[in-house]
Structure 1
Amino acid sequence: MSATYSIIIADDHAMFLDGLTSILSEEKSIKIILTAKTGTQVLKYLRINKDEKIDLVITDINMPEMDGVALNQAIKFEFPQIKTLVVSMLEEAKKIKQLTEANANGYISKNAEKTELLNAITNILEGDNYFSPRIKQVLMEAMFSEKSSPEIALTKRETEVLKLIAQEFTTQEIADQLFLSKHTIESYRKNLISKLGVRNLAGLTRYAVEKGLLA
Structure 2
Amino acid sequence: MIVASTGNEIISKTKELNPDIILLDISMPEVENLSFCKKIKEISPNTKIIILTMHFSEEYVKEAFKNGTEGYILKDSSFSELEIAIKSVFEGHTYITPKVSKVIIKDYLQKEQNPLKTLTERQKEILKLIAEGYSSKEIAYKLNISIKTVEAHKSQIEEITMVKVFIIDDSKDFINSAIKLLTEEGIEVIGYAYSGKEGIESLQNLNPDIVFVDIVMPDMDGFSVIKELKKLNNPFKTVILTLYDNDEYRKVSEEIADGFVSKSDFFSKIKEILEGILREEKKKTIYKK
**Alignment-mate amino acid for residue 125 of structure 1:** L
The answer to whether residue 11 in structure 2 is matched with residue 11 in structure 1 is no
Mapped to 1, the partners of 2:168 and 2:207 lie a distance apart of 17
**Alignment-mate amino acid for residue 209 of structure 2:** D
The answer to whether residue 121 in structure 2 is matched with residue 121 in structure 1 is no
Q: Given that residues 108 and 117 in structure 1 are in contact (C-alpha distance below 8 angstroms), is that contact kept between their aligned partners in structure 2?
A: no
Q: Which residue of 2 aligns with 1:35?
A: 192
Q: Deviations over 1:79-113 (max 9, x none)?
A: 351101122112343333222111x1111111226
The answer to whether residue 234 in structure 2 is matched with residue 76 in structure 1 is no
Matches within 5 A, 1:46-195: 46-47=203-204, 49=205, 52-102=206-256, 104-112=257-265, 114-127=267-280, 128=282, 129-134=284-289
Mapped to 1, the partners of 2:232 and 2:203 lie a distance apart of 9
Mapped to 2, the partners of 1:75 and 1:96 lie a distance apart of 19
Mapped to 2, the partners of 1:16 and 1:26 lie a distance apart of 15
Q: 1:2 to 1:106 in 2, by over 3 A?
A: same
Q: 1:38 to 1:23 in 2, by over 3 A?
A: same
**Alignment-mate amino acid for residue 31 of structure 1:** E
Q: Given that residues 239 and 258 in structure 2 are in contact (C-alpha distance below 8 angstroms), is that contact kept between their aligned partners in structure 1?
A: yes
Compute the TM-score of the two structures, normalised by the length of structure 2: 0.41
Mapped to 2, the partners of 1:90 and 1:130 lie a distance apart of 17
Mapped to 2, the partners of 1:124 and 1:24 lie a distance apart of 15
Q: 1:32 to 1:115 in 2, by over 3 A?
A: same
Compute the TM-score of the two structures, normalised by the length of structure 1: 0.55
- Consecutive unaligned residues in structure 2, runs of 5 or more: 1-158
Q: Deviations over 1:178-213 (max 9, x none)?
A: xxxxxxxxxxxxxxxxxxxxxxxxxxxxxxxxxxxx
Q: Given that residues 69 and 95 in structure 1 are in contact (C-alpha distance below 8 angstroms), is that contact kept between their aligned partners in structure 2?
A: no
Q: Deviations over 1:163-192 (max 9, x none)?
A: xxxxxxxxxxxxxxxxxxxxxxxxxxxxxx
Q: Given that residues 72 and 99 in structure 1 are in contact (C-alpha distance below 8 angstroms), is that contact kept between their aligned partners in structure 2?
A: no
**Alignment-mate amino acid for residue 20 of structure 1:** A
- Consecutive unaligned residues in structure 1, runs of 5 or more: 135-215
The size of the alignment, in residue pairs, is 129
Q: 1:113 to 1:39 in 2, by over 3 A?
A: closer
What SS class does the counterpart of residue 35 from structure 1 fall into? strand
**Identity across aligned pairs (percent)?**
26
What SS class does the counterpart of residue 264 from structure 2 fall into? coil
Q: 1:43 to 1:113 in 2, by over 3 A?
A: closer
Runs (4+) of structure 1 moved beyond 4 Å? none
Mapped to 2, the partners of 1:92 and 1:113 lie a distance apart of 16
Q: Deviations over 1:134-176 (max 9, x none)?
A: 5xxxxxxxxxxxxxxxxxxxxxxxxxxxxxxxxxxxxxxxxxx
Mapped to 2, the partners of 1:58 and 1:105 lie a distance apart of 10
Q: Given that residues 85 and 121 in structure 1 are in contact (C-alpha distance below 8 angstroms), is that contact kept between their aligned partners in structure 2?
A: no
Q: Deviations over 1:2-40 (max 9, x none)?
A: 211221011111111111111001122x21111111111
Over the aligned positions, Cα root-mean-square deviation in angstroms equals 1.9
What SS class does the counterpart of residue 174 from structure 2 fall into? helix
Mapped to 2, the partners of 1:120 and 1:130 lie a distance apart of 8
